[in-house]
Structure 1
Amino acid sequence: MATVGWRELVHLPELGLHNVPAKIDTGARTSSLHGVVLDKFERDGAEYVRFAVDFERQHVRQVCEAVHVDRRGITSSNGETQFRYVIKTPLTIGKREFRAEISLADRSDMKFPMLIGRSALRRRFVVDSGHSWLQTPGLEVEKGYKP
């Protein structure tokens, strides 16, 4: 089983998102991505959601589309339940790629645009909370790196 640190760079290849700084959070069940829902639509009989992911540090806005899997109540760390769109898309951490459920949330006030929850980690990774960037070779030695 691979080991991840408390923060990692991850990839969402079908969404065209690469090197996304993510916080590893075993206290959260569902992974979440900073995304502002722009539109919900149907294509070939399947429901889709179009959303924007803003990377404020780089002044970049990436518009993505994904199959809309669900809309469900998700309890945030402050105890509030929010109804969020949930998508299912390939997620790559290190050399492992797998499909993960990811809720779209406003994470603009958070340090990391993505949070990886325990459902995505289960039976794939163990977490070493004393280290960072274990699945991102070379990055762990960069001093002062901030996502």
Structure 2
Amino acid sequence: MSNDLVTVGWQEWLAFPEMGLPAVRAKIDTGARTSALHAHDVEHVERDGETVVRFLVNPLFKGRKLAVPCEAPIVDEREVTSSNGHTELRIVVEAMLRLGLAADAPEWPVELTLTDRRGMRFPMLLGREAMSGRVLVDSGASFRLGRPDHPGAFYE
């Protein structure tokens, strides 16, 4: 096993700085192939001759009062089958993931599917494709990379 792997718990705080998301609570899910980000009010927009997607994210999920506007280039649209067997066509975007909230935390590009996760406990699900070769999951631990006292402060 490589010493370069970052050990995480089954839930962690992540960031997508380029999308204006400095703190997003995520479930680390080795059972999910793809990563999913809760998004709503999704719309396609033309920007400099390229189609991008504009959407809102509730990064803290608590009460869902905070809605952060995001925009990203569309990589693809794919059918994704959820754990309950429901298949959905989802927009796929690429974003730079920061694993943890520290400014010097490891970063790499990941693909995210945009979906409505209102019925779920986490706004973000980090799947195994995004973690492959980089992450080791300690399923008995939570927040191995740290836990902010006041996550909302990242958005003030």
TM-score normalized by structure 2?
0.84
Could you tell me how far 1:63 is from its partner in structure 2?
1.1
Q: Which amino acid aligns with 2:40?
A: V
Q: Following superposition of structure 1 onto structure 2, how do residues 1-147 of structure 1 map, counting pairs within 5 Å?
A: 1-54=5-58, 55-57=60-62, 59-94=65-100, 95-136=105-146, 139=147
More displaced, 14-23 or 35-44? 35-44
The 2-side partners of 1:9 and 1:36 are apart by 21
CA deviation profile, 1:60-92 (whole Å, cap 9, x unmatched): 111111001111100011011100101001011
Equivalent pairs counted in the alignment come to: 139
Unaligned runs of 5+ in 1: 143-147
The 1-side partners of 2:61 and 2:93 are apart by 23
- State the SS of the aligned residue for 1:57: coil
- State the SS of the aligned residue for 2:76: strand
Q: Which amino acid aligns with 1:72?
A: R
- State the SS of the aligned residue for 1:120: helix
Q: Which amino acid aligns with 1:83?
A: L
Measured on the aligned residues, the alpha-carbon RMSD in Å equals: 1.6
Equivalent residues of 2:61, 2:122 under 8 A apart = no
Equivalent residues of 2:26, 2:123 under 8 A apart = yes
The 2-side partners of 1:22 and 1:119 are apart by 15
> After the TM superposition, which parts of structure 1 deviate over 6 Å for at least 4 consecutive aligned residues?
none
TM-score normalized by structure 1?
0.89
Could you tell me how far 1:39 is from its partner in structure 2?
1.3
Equivalent residues of 1:37, 1:49 under 8 A apart = no
More strand by share: 1
Unaligned runs of 5+ in 2: 150-156
